Amino acid sequence: MKAITVQELAQRFSLEILAGADQVEHRQISKARPHRPGLEFVGYFDFFPQEHVQILGKKEINYLHTLSEEERNHHIGNIVKYHPPCFIVTGNQDGLKYLTKYCELEGIPLLRTGSATSEFIARLDGFLVKHLAEEISIHGVCVNVSGIGILLRGKSGVGKSETAHTLIRRGHRLVADDIVVLKKLSPQTILGTHNESTKEFLALRSIGLVNVSRLYGRKAFQEETRITLDIELTKWKDDALNNELELDEKFTDYMGVKVPHIEVQLQPGRDVAGLIEAAANNWYLRQQGYSAAEEFMKRLEFS
């Protein structure tokens, strides 16, 4: 299971450490979705997500301030005994001696940020979801064509990188070449990105490595994209039916997420980049509720 230490989180978001400084290197976070304890302060712990980061905003801190010392110690004591990875106080709130005391006793890091609660939770959740996401690496090329993330696959030497180069020259963007890292952000979402070492590089046979940002400007590259199409480049098959009407979509499964799949057969003279642009635009129209194949079949029915 992927995890991040509290120390890495503190460095990433410039968090102030109020307690448990000797534990930040050892305590790990393996769950996204930070939690704001509410019902837990009144003693209800049946569904307490104890493995999640606990966020204490103004509502939580102000509520604790209204309690007597005995009540406050009781409520805080009940929560810290579950040993969550850390507590983060937002809005630079102070008056936290009681929290500091219990966190030091239990060895739980207590951190603080000046950011507003809702803003910080959104940033933290987005970071943890990406960082802790299940991921795999595959051989291929990832491009963004008119805002649509496309994974180009095929055997080595089939022309994936050359096709990506043509797309870049037409104003589209490279995300990753050779090694594409796929991250599962949700049951419906796959994110494509690079593995840092190949960032901005495109390998072209007979030419070698080129840096697309240096060659074509920063607009030629982007860090990541949601994968919406899986396109496989294959050699031309003379006996294949290449103009079939496919009303039923085909899919490729990546970590349990089904991505629409298209096979594009290669032949000298074919404008492969143009076909990929057409596939991207056609996919977009389908998302808007229009299908050219379905309209064609309807015309046949009434002709």
Bridge partners (DSSP) of residue 258 are 253
Give yes or no: 2 in active site. no
215-254 per-residue burial string, b: 16 or more CB within 10 A, e: under 16: ebeeebbbebbebbbbbbbeeeeeeeeeeeeeeeeeebeb
Answer for the pair 113, 57: CB distance below 8 angstroms, yes or no.
no
Q: In what order do the strands lie in the sheet with 87-89?
A: 16-19, 110-112, 87-89, 54-56
Give yes or no: 52 in active site. no
Bridge partners (DSSP) of residue 88 are 55, 111
Answer for the pair 266, 272: CB distance below 8 angstroms, yes or no.
yes
Give yes or no: 160 in active site. yes
Answer for the pair 161, 112: CB distance below 8 angstroms, yes or no.
no
Q: Which of 125, 178, 199, 258 is catalytic?
A: 178
Q: Which of 160, 183, 184, 194 is catalytic?
A: 160
Answer for the pair 209, 199: CB distance below 8 angstroms, yes or no.
no
Q: Which of 2, 74, 81, 139 is catalytic?
A: 139
Question: In 10 A of CB 162, how many CB atoms?
Answer: 19
Answer for the pair 189, 254: CB distance below 8 angstroms, yes or no.
no
Active-site residue list: 139, 160, 178
